[in-house]
Amino acid sequence: MKAIFHIIAILAAGGAAYFSYDHSNKFKEQQSIRIKANDDNRAVTASAEATEKELKDEQGALKLAQDQREELTQAISALKSNENQLKRELGEIEGLLEEQQAEFDQLKKTEEEVNRVVESIKEDLNIDGEVNIDTLAGIIGQIEEDKKARQKKLEELETLVAAAEKKLAQNNSDADRLTQRKVERNNRISRNAMEAVITAVEQGWGFVVIGAGSNTGFTPQTSLLVKRDGKLIGRVRPSSIEPNQTIAEIDQESLVPGVRLQPGDRVILARPATN
């Protein structure tokens, strides 16, 4: 019985030793796995840290690149603004140069004109030699004296012209007056020599129609004589005058006995117009 217990004890001790050995091996294996895992973890951690550092470095480089790009953009904008400003200033300078060139050309023309005037003055005043600042004062004085002499002569001529114009105006007035008198005299002579023809006779009412009127100079006060074959046969008095014809009443008492007025008889002025 004791032998059985000893065998059991030995088997138990052997099993325990086996289990202890097996457990020790598994522990070592687990320990190796754990150590390897820790090493892997440290390697991964180091790699992650390196990667994170590289990421931070790249982010820093990117931020620096972005800042540099922003600075470059601002610098380019500033350069463009400076370029536009320089272009405007260049345009203003070119405009100023054109204005100055125009002024220079004008001054040159003025100088040429002054030179022509000086030469003309030299010819007018018979001046020999060069005209300069030293001689200009004397020449100006000579010009002033010449101007005064010419002004005096001009005033004398203007006085003579004014007198001549006055005399001419008087002569023109006299001529106009004489012309008007001549026209009036000619009109009176024309009226004195005027003859008109009786175009119609109304014996019952005692009036005639004469082929002349106010355009010929007839007025209600005009006294007319009637003649036939160069002989006076009676008188008529205008009663209605139109531009081209006159109605005149027959002066029955003035008619030659046995004579009656008829169309074709001629009328003349009873009283010639006076000159």
Q: What would the pLDDT profile of 58-78 be if each residue is shown by its tens digit?
A: 788 788 878 888 887 887 877
- pLDDT at position 224 over 60: yes
The pLDDT of 217-237, averaged and rounded, is 88
Cα Rg, the chain, nearest whole Å: 72
Name the residue among 165, 189, 195 with its Cα closest to residue 275.
Answer: 189
Of 96, 124, 152, the one marking the end of a domain is: 124
Residue 77 within a domain: yes
Mean pLDDT of the chain: 76
Q: Among 73, 93, 124, identify where a domain stops.
A: 124
pLDDT band, residue 166 (cuts 50/70/90): confident
Neighbours of 189 (CB within 10 A): 13
Pairwise CA distance, residues 7 & 4, whole Å: 5
Q: How many domains does the chain have?
A: 2
11 and 90 both lie in a single domain: yes
Residue 148 in domain: no
Taking residue 208's Cβ as centre, other Cβ atoms within 10 Å add up to 25
Q: Model-level pTM?
A: 0.32
Q: What's residue 71's pLDDT?
A: 81
Considering the domain boundaries, does residue 22 fall inside one? yes
Domain assignment present for 54: yes
Q: Identify whether residues 116 and 221 lie together within a single domain.
A: no
- What single-letter DSSP state applies at residue 212? -
DSSP secondary structure letters along 94-135:
HHHHHHHHHHHHHHHHHHHHHHHHHHHHHHHHT--S---HHH
Of 244, 246, 253, nearest to 220 (Cα)? 246
φ, ψ of residue 262 to 5 degrees: the values are: -145, 160
Domain, as residue range, for 214: 194-269
**DSSP letter (8 states) at residue 252:** G
More confident: 51 or 12: 51
